[in-house]
């Protein structure tokens, strides 16, 4: 059996595809996979590719249990690929190190995403809180004060990550927005490491993602409501516009009012802490 943790992007999704900095943290929820003899889970394209790159035969069956909503910004496809590769390699008696696991998970991400930056596989494979720039060695961050966050489900996006990345590519104003997001991530990194408030920066990144055109009406309305209750919010991951926009980060001094609103509106959420040693 092998486990791979999901991830949440604190700052820098989409701009990371263009070479900007992203800050990403692994979360305690994730995906478990094991090789089974009886009927396994249905094989998605990513699962088939993961078995193949791990060197397994196509008749290998795997059972997958996921705590991550699919396609909702928490790195579900990278976590599925990584956990399947690990369990197949265990089964074949060929242990895998982290660097090879990263390379192979990245191969599978290409099936799911087309042109991935690699931020999802990096987080899922190496864990912790990392500063990631495409094609560069990743940097592990030690943050001064752990951050308590709420992850709010704005609904499953109708679009794939690939479609959302393409949508950004077609936005004529993308250059300036992407540059601003990258700069925000740099400022946030400094504050996280040295200590300091990042609430305002979360909000600013959230608003820039709205301008970039990756946040749908439902998530924008919810953002306004949560901001009205004093929270800082941004979507995390690729987003979505037609229906849901996936998971949204909410940070607040007092979560009680937010919990009440979400409970009354029957919106799913969970709480997590980033940066605990």
Q: Which residues bind ligand MEV (CB under 6 A)?
A: 9, 13-14, 16-17, 113, 116-117, 119-120, 161, 165, 237-238
CB of 73 to ligand MEV, least distance (A): 6
Give whichever of 60 and 274 is closer to ligand MEV, judged by the CB atom: 274
CA–CA separation, 32 vs 250, rounded Å? 27
Give whichever of 205 and 252 is closer to ligand MEV, judged by the CB atom: 205
CB of 164 to ligand MEV, least distance (A): 6
Give whichever of 16 and 84 is closer to ligand MEV, judged by the CB atom: 16
Q: Which residues on adjacent β-strands are paired with residue 148? A: 273
- Beta-strand ranges (E) seen in the chain are 2-11, 22-36, 61-66, 129-132, 139-140, 147-153, 232-235, 247-251, 269-274
- For tokens 């409501």, name the residue: 225
Task: Give the nearest residue (CB) to ligand MEV.
Answer: 117
Give whichever of 16 and 101 is closer to ligand MEV, judged by the CB atom: 16
CB of 238 to ligand MEV, least distance (A): 4
Give whichever of 14 and 86 is closer to ligand MEV, judged by the CB atom: 14
CA–CA separation, 272 vs 151, rounded Å? 7
Residue 239: partners with Cβ closer than 8 Å, 6 or more residues away? 13, 73, 157, 164, 209, 214, 215, 216, 219, 245, 246
CB of 67 to ligand MEV, least distance (A): 17
CB of 124 to ligand MEV, least distance (A): 10
């Amino acid at each position: 059996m092998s486990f791979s943790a999901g991830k949440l992007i604190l700052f820098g999704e989409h701009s990371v595809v263009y070479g900007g900095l992203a800050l990403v943290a692994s979360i305690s929820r994730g995906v478990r996979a094991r090789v089974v003899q009886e009927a396994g889970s249905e094989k998605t394209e990513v699962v088939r590719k993961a078995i193949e790159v791990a060197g397994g035969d196509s008749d290998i069956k795997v059972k997958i249990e996921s705590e991550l909503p699919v396609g909702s910004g928490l790195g579900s496809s990278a976590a599925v690929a990584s956990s399947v590769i690990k369990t197949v390699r265990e089964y074949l008696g060929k242990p895998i190190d982290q660097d090879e696991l990263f390379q192979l998970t990245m191969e599978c991400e290409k099936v799911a995403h087309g042109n991935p930056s690699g931020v999802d596989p990096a987080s899922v494979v190496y864990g912790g809180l990392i500063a990631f720039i495409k094609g560069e060695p990743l940097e592990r961050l030690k943050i001064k004060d752990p951050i308590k966050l709420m992850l709010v489900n704005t609904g499953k996006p109708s679009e794939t990550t690939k479609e959302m990345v393409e949508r950004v590519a077609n936005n004529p104003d993308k250059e300036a927005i992407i540059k601003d997001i990258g700069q925000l991530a740099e400022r946030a990194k400094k504050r996280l490491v040295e200590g300091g408030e990042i609430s305002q920066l979360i909000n600013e990144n959230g608003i820039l993602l709205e301008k970039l055109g990756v946040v749908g009406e439902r998530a924008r309305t919810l953002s306004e409501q949560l901001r009205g209750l004093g929270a800082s919010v941004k979507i995390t991951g690729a987003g979505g516009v037609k229906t849901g926009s996936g998971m949204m980060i909410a940070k607040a001094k007092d979560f009680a009012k937010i919990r009440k609103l979400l409970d009354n509106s029957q919106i799913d959420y969970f709480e997590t802490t980033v940066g605990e040693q």
